[in-house]
């Protein structure tokens, strides 16, 4: 229970990695505000989480809505007098080759994966700086480090998220706020389930561990970055990718 009495906010918590992060932080004793656009989906997995249920609070939030980002953060602080951990996990892909990628495809991915994180960090930082403590954890991607054919929009958003992470770490470090990113490789979720089997098999051959990761394996890294054992780590992009990015 290393996060007992702490309050966490997780975006993109309706399924996949976001759900695993919420469960992992709640298991450590944190009160977790689990946010997504689809709150029905959040409600339905929370119902299945047994003894963790009282520490999981479903809340509607679209991270592309700046006013909603401010409002949700302010409401948490008003109600619980604190916000210790922010996990920016919400993300989408809209893959396509660069020559046929339209503006909407590019903007949508930037708005969710990068601007959404910016809105949330700005809102949370105001409170964390006042409290002189806080952990901000951004879920980035292997694509943001290495680039990826067919994902120019996504790689640009995640690469910028890594730079945002480092800038926030430099700006807020002296106020006790730590900011890090995690760069998952291929993780088994709805996001990767839609990829063609032949592509997935090809990618597996490139991964030294020869398998895709699980949402729980990313949640474990979040738990580490949220907890006391990472108190001297900030501004880092930690790869959790089975060795793919070496």
Q: Which residues are at the interface with ligand NAP (CB under 6 A)?
A: 11-18, 36-38, 41, 61-64, 89-92, 112, 139, 141, 184, 186-187, 189-192
- CA-only gyration radius of the chain, Å: 17
Shortest distance, position 133 Cβ to ligand NAP, whole Å: 25
Shortest distance, position 5 Cβ to ligand NAP, whole Å: 26
Minimum CB distance to ligand NAP smaller for 5 or for 40: 40
Distances (CA, A) of 24 to 14, 17, 92, 187, 219: 14, 10, 22, 17, 6
Shortest distance, position 153 Cβ to ligand NAP, whole Å: 11
Shortest distance, position 224 Cβ to ligand NAP, whole Å: 17
Minimum CB distance to ligand NAP smaller for 131 or for 146: 146
Catalytic residue check, 119: no
Of 106, 119, 142, 154, which one is the catalytic site residue?
154
Q: In the chain, which ranges are continuous DSSP H helix?
A: 16-27, 39-47, 66-80, 103-110, 116-131, 142-146, 152-172, 190-193, 197-206, 215-226
Minimum CB distance to ligand NAP smaller for 189 or for 236: 189
* The token pair that represents 223 in the structure block: 């738990």
* The token pair that represents 147 in the structure block: 């680039």
Distance CA 223, CA 233 (A): 13
Those residues with Cβ within 8 angstroms of residue 78's Cβ, 6 or more apart along the chain or in another chain: none
Minimum CB distance to ligand NAP smaller for 38 or for 81: 38
Question: Which of the residues are catalytic?
Answer: 154
């Amino acid at each position: 229970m290393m996060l007992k009495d702490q309050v966490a906010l997780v975006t993109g918590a309706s399924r996949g990695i976001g759900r695993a992060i919420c469960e992992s932080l709640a298991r450590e004793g944190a009160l977790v505000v689990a946010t997504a656009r689809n709150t029905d989906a959040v409600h339905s997995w929370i119902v299945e989480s047994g003894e963790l249920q009282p520490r999981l609070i479903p809340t509607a939030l679209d991270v592309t809505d700046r006013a909603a980002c401010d409002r949700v953060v302010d409401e948490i602080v008003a109600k619980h007098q604190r916000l210790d951990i922010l996990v920016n996990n919400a993300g989408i892909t809209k893959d396509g080759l660069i020559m046929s990628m339209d503006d909407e495809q590019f903007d949508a991915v930037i708005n969710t994966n990068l601007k959404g994180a910016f809105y949330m960090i700005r809102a949370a930082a105001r409170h964390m700086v006042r409290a002189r403590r806080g952990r901000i954890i951004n879920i980035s991607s292997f694509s943001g480090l290495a680039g990826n054919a067919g994902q120019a929009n996504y790689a640009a958003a995640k690469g910028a998220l890594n730079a945002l992470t480092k800038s926030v770490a430099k700006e807020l470090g002296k106020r006790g706020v730590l900011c890090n990113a995690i760069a998952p490789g291929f993780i088994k979720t709805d996001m990767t389930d839609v990829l063609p089997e032949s592509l997935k098999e090809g990618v597996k051959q490139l991964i030294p561990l020869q398998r895709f990761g699980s949402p729980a394996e990313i949640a474990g890294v979040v738990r580490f970055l949220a907890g006391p054992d990472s108190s001297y780590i900030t501004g880092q992009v930690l790869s959790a990718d089975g060795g793919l990015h070496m």
